[in-house]
Structures are given as structure tokens and as C-alpha cells.
Amino acid sequence: MFINGEWCQAESGKKFGVINPATGEGIGDVADGGQVEAERAIQAAHSAFGDWSSMTAYERSEILYKAYKLMSTRREEIARTMTVEQGKPLRAAMNEVKYGADFLLWYAEEAKRVYGETIPAPRGDQRFIVLHQPIGVVAAITPWNYPASMITRKVAPALAAGCTIVLKPAEATPLCAMEIFKILEEAGVPKGVANLVTGSDPKPIGEEFVTNPLVSKITFTGSTETGKLLARGAADQMKRVSLELGGHAPFLVLKDADPVFAAKGAVLVKYLNTGQACICPNRLFVHKSGVEAFTKEFVSRVIKMRAGNGLEQGINIGPLVSEKAIEKVERQVEDATSKGAELLCGGHRLMDDGLDRGYYYAPTVLSNVTSDMLIYREETFGPVAPIIAFDDDDDVLEMANDTHYGLAAYIYTQNLSAAMRTFEGLRFGIIGINDINPTGAAAPFGGQKESGLGREGGHEGIFEYLETKLGGFSV
């Protein structure tokens, strides 16, 4: 762990193992921290806050820019660690490291753009001035599916704003977090400003984050269930929270769309990170006039995908994160087929050619999916694509919005009016219109409804870590 500028073990001396999901083999042991280490880290962050927050924005910017350059230089090294630890193909890992470094660069710039304002007052002898100041100590919890970029997406704006931070990475992927904190240390982040607490059991660390009065804000990316628990706990002390939670993205192929073109995009985003991304489409709604052509093109591409260890050339599909993830996918596929869905390809665990040592599931396509099936309602987080035919473009908007989630959605159409109407009508925070990658460090990322609170990225992201202060001067 990295606490108050020093690398350290858990006070108990305990460690836990990290497993390569592609092979089932252990790849290292890391410190197994808990409440004691979380408390120490929070105290260190609290002690460092005064000096860090009083530094100029230009000084903080310079440190973040150094971190950006270091992360960019070590792109392949970090990507290889990610592939071994998380399982995604090396090319995808390389892309993620670049995406993660972009947040360091973006917020190195945004640090210098936290502007205040003056407001006309109702009295001649009065002046109003507004300042934005750092909120304080931030507790951050990040997921395993994007183990580098989800860290910088929180750490970069927090540090740019002048906050100090304590990070708990996912227990499945602590090695990527360690690599990033080595970069922060080398870039010159002062002692106590950025702290890393690793642990096999997130509960005691999360409880310390929630109950410790020195923590001013909690930022979390993960399941909706856990996000709700953190929000409830944070409410007792009115801590600020930002939550990026689950998704159940619809992919709409409207009547006028080119179904073959749409299918090419749908395959790329559906099987992104083996379907283990919160923005992966979970329901593919295709107008009945184009569903046959869409399905043919979609399946033809899926059956060519190659599963395996992400360090090998030509791999499209990596492993799922765990045995539990395999079981969830199997349950959804079995439920759908038992209720009338047609299995077009896949539908089974991959066991040949040594894949039985890891957590591999064949890329799968289902048709004739209906609203009474689990996969229609539950987030899958796996390589299963359910295709749903619809009759009317107006009706599909209601079908797409029929979910408690509201993170991402996709529209394919060649009609500008239809694109705008659907864009405005979808109750989701991120919409790709003929675009399967509507994300970037400069763009706000976040959801509506039970997909979360707040935004990460863009100029909105830094304001999640700032308080607004009004000064009324009598002159």
C-alpha cells in the first residue's frame, strides 16, 4: 500500500493473491489492508490537505502533467500488467492506458480554469464574489473492468481541484493501481496527498470511508446495489457523493438505418472488454424491416471472434473476471432459451485448447428475446447479445426507456430529425448517435436514474470536487 508517501504492508502482515483470469494462475501477492490502514490513510490525506490546497493551480498542474508524460511513456508496461491481471487483449489495454493518461492531461489543464465570478448586488455599497474551493479529503473506490482509467478519472480531477485522496482499488486488480501510484509518486505528488489502500475485503475499508468524519466526499464506480449502500451511509454526515453505477444500454437501429453498417458498430461495442463494460449495449432493438440483414451480419462477425489469452496475437475475446461472472451469463442464457429465445451462436463455456483454466464464455447471440426474460431486465456484463425486433420507431423509445438504469444508449439512423427526437427522448446520460464510442476525457460521463449521480470527465468533472463559496462585501 502507499500511505503518507511510503510503500507499506498491512499492519497484520496479511497478504492476498492476485489471479490471472486467463489462466487461473497466481501472479502476485499484495498487502491485505482493512479499517486500520484506511484510517491511517485518511489521517494522512487530512494532514496533507492544507498545504496541497494552498498550492497554486499552476503548481498542481505541473505535477499532473509530469504524471501524464510518465504514464504515456510506460504505456506498454502498464498495459501488459493490465492484460495479465484483468484479462483484456493487449491492444485494448494499450487503448485504456492512453485513455487513462488523457485524464491526467485534461485535468492538468482544467486545474487552471477553476474560475470564480462577481455578481451584481442589489445595493450600491455591496459586492458579491463567488469562489470555488476544494472540498477536502476524497475517498475513492474503483472497479476491476477498467483498472487504470477509472483511477485517473477520479484522482486527476480531485488533485487538480486541490483535494487529497485515498483510493481503494478493486481487489481483483490492485497491481494496475500500484503502477499508477508509482507514477504519482515519481511525478512529485507530496506525501499524504494520494494514498492507496489495498484489501481483499472491501467492507471494512468502505465502512471507514463512510463513517470517518475527515472524509468530505466519496466517489465510487461499481454496482448499483453497492452505490446505494454508500449513498445511504454518506447521508448520515451529508458527505458529497458521486456514483457511476450499472447500465442496461439499448442499441436502437431505426427503420431508415443501414442494418449492415449498424451491425458492424454493434459488434464492436457489445463485445468491448468481453462485454464487461457499463456502456456495452445490453438490448439490441432492430426494426423488423432490417432485422434479418442486421442479424446475418452481426452473427457472421461474432463467429469469427477468437477467445484466448490477451497477450496472444489476434485475440478478440478475453476471459470474464471470475467463476461467478460465468454463472451469471449461463443463468441468463438458459433462462432466455427456456422461454423461447433462439440461440444463434455461442451459448456455452469455452473449455478447449487450455481455456478451461480460465473464465471463458463463447461470444453469444440470441434472437426472439422478449421482455419476460432475465436478460431483458438485468445487466449481463458478459459476451451475450440479445436481438429484439420492433415494429415502430415511436414505440421503441418507450421500450428502450423501460429500465431502472440510465447510463448509455445508442441510435443508428440516417434521419437527422429522428436522431434529434430520439436523442432528446432517451432517458440516458450518454447517447451515441451513429457512434459507438461517445466518451473522452473532455466529455462528461455519467448516468441518470439508478445509473448514478454526478459526472466524471469534462469541465463538469472537476466541479464534483469543489465547494462554492459566496462572499458578500459591504464597501
Please give the positions annotated as active site: 244, 278
Select from 321, 409, 300 the least CA-distant residue to 363.
300
Q: How far apart are CA 175 and CA 85, in angstroms?
A: 7
- Grid coordinates representing 161 are 481541484
**Which DSSP symbol is given to 383?**
S
Which sign does the torsion angle of CA 48, 50, 51, 52 carry? positive
Do the Cβ atoms of 36 and 28 come closer than 8 Å? Answer: no
| DSSP-derived pairing of the beta strands 164-168 and 137-141 | parallel
Instruction: Please give the Cα distance from 193 to 198 (Å, whole number).
Output: 17
Q: State residue 436 phi and psi, 5-degree precision.
A: -95, 0
Instruction: Burial-class residue 330 by CB neighbours within 10 Å (0-12, 13-18, 19+).
Output: middle
- Encode 194-219: b = buried (16+ Cβ within 10 Å), e = exposed: bbbbbbbebebbbbbbbebeebbbbb
d(CA 296, CA 405): 29
How far is residue 54 from each of residues 49, 58, 77, 159, 374, measured CA to CA in Å? Answer: 8, 11, 34, 12, 52
